[in-house]
Amino acid sequence: MKKYLVHKLSFLLPSGSPSPGWEGARGKGLTLGLLLGLTSLAAPAQTLTLPALIEQTLATSAASLQARAAREGGYWAYRAYQANYRPQLTLAGTVPNFSRVITPVVQPDGTTEFQSVRINNSLLGVGLSQNIGLTGGQVVVGSQVQRFDDFARNEKRYNNQPFTLGLTQPLGYFNALKWNRRIAPLLYQESQRQYLEDREALAQRVTELYFDVLLQQVNAAVAGQNAQATAELLRVGREKYALGRLSQSDLLQLELNLLDAQQAQNQARLDAESAAVSLRTYCPLPGPATGDTVPPLAVPAPAPALAVVPTEALGQARQHRAATLAFQRRQLQAARDVAQARGTTGFLATLTANLGYVNQAPYLLDSYQALQNQQQVALAFSLPLVDWGRRRATVRTAELARDQTQAAVTQDERSFEQTVLTQAAQVPTLAGQARLAARADTLAQRRYAITRATYEAGRLSLTDLTLASAAKDLARRSYILALRAGWVAYYNLRGLTLFDFATQQPLAAD
């Protein structure tokens, strides 16, 4: 009685209305059993919807945690970069520095005597340093005190430098601070945008796995429905055969159809369990795992029908994608490598200058009295006179690598633009495909109901009924595949542009 009710419901659908549980189930999360009109009319089991699964996966999955950790890593790397341009206060010293040894001491007459030495030579200093990003130098302001104890003679001395001002300035060297100022902010912004792209890629992957399992669940449900319908047809066929209204050939064909339907049902169950493995591995499904099964999946509504202008999508992608920053960053890194090749060969020099006050005394307070000026200036340099073309080869190698990077970036930019334009152009077409597939599914269901009723009345052949059943099953699978293509394209477009065209808002990270 239940299956006849299902067939009547399908048969009574008005022309153009969706099949029960397909387009008519938009956003209602109907179970697969209700969608396919299976044998039970009891309350359906709790289903799992696509938005809920995506949300849960983004919150708790391993892939989501990895994306979040990568974003946090980019943030702390940027914090470390910023710290390089801020003053650094350092306390350094050697306390204590005690030694008790016998050491050779050269006497005034040139002879050597071995003497026992017990000393402590402690040092403590504080320094405030500031890097100069424009020139790559460093300025240091500090204070230092040194205490020397000679325990053998019961003497102590202090060497005090209460104030020192020093400058270290490389000349001709590669200025890493200058290039980091240009590259590090791009890396930071890139990591934040990459996090959004990773989330959209994860949502797209969940969608693919979701529909893979849903399709197998649909196949299993359709196979079960076909097996029950075929068993009922065989029962009716035997009654007709007993009355002489059905040939033995058709009866044998019905028995063969039942065997095929039962085999298809068993295979569909195995395929559904196999598809569930990937989904359960990638997504944290609710509840305890029972083998390789997953909860019944609800058939989602079609993806939003977006009126996307490809050029507008490309503009949003250029504005929000990490790839646009990566193009700039790669070119800057290539130019930096050329500067580094030039800054590590050829003429190199380091200018160091230091001035301050110093004094020494037996007592610490006395060392602050009558301070004396101290100045130090030094210029250390190196200039290769004969390097057999080493500098030229090093610089030329870096320049060729820069040219290769620029060519690769140009090609990647073209590929990037073409991918966005193509995907944006396909979204409206895929939405139309979903509508056509829904209509085809509705017509195939109605045609099968009419064909079966006509066959049972004896006015159609078994071949016509078999063809109608195959068309019904194909239309249902085609609708699921059309839904899959639409939702995958929707999340792919979001990931390519980092823009939600449904709300007309750029995507934002939590």
Q: What is the pLDDT of residues 338-383, one digit of tens each?
A: 999 999 888 999 999 999 999 888 888 888 888 889 999 999 999 9
- 30 or 510, higher pLDDT: 510
Percent of the chain with pLDDT over 90: 48
- 244 or 168, higher pLDDT: 168
pLDDT on residue 66? 93
Q: What is the pLDDT of residues 59-103, one digit of tens each?
A: 888 899 999 999 999 999 999 999 999 999 999 999 889 999 988
* Interval 417-424 mean pLDDT: 94
* Tokens 């005034």, residue located: 108
Give the pLDDT band of residue 4 (cuts 50, 70, 90).
Answer: very low
Does residue 118 register a pLDDT over 50? yes
Write the DSSP symbol of residue 97.
Answer: -
Percent of the chain with pLDDT over 70: 89
Coil/strand/helix, residue 354: strand
Does residue 14 register a pLDDT over 50? no
pLDDT on residue 218? 85
For residue 106, CA distances in Å to 93, 99, 110, 115, 309 come to 30, 19, 6, 10, 90
Coil/strand/helix, residue 184: helix
pLDDT on residue 198? 94
pLDDT on residue 381? 92
Does residue 162 register a pLDDT over 70? yes
* Tokens 């305890």, residue located: 288
Give the pLDDT band of residue 24 (cuts 50, 70, 90).
Answer: very low
Nearest alpha carbon to residue 306 among 438, 476, 490, 473: 490
Paired with 506 in beta bridges are 499
Give the pLDDT band of residue 288 (cuts 50, 70, 90).
Answer: low
CB of 326 closer than 8 Å to CB of 190 = yes
The average confidence (pLDDT) of the chain is 84
| Domain 21-41+48-75+182-329+406-506 sits in CATH 1.10.540.10 | no
Paired with 379 in beta bridges are 351
* Interval 241-257 mean pLDDT: 81
CA distance 152 to 484: 89
Q: Record the tokens describing residue 435, joined without a space.
A: 């509508």
Each domain of the chain, given as residue ranges in start order, spans: 21-41+48-75+182-329+406-506, 89-132+137-172+350-383
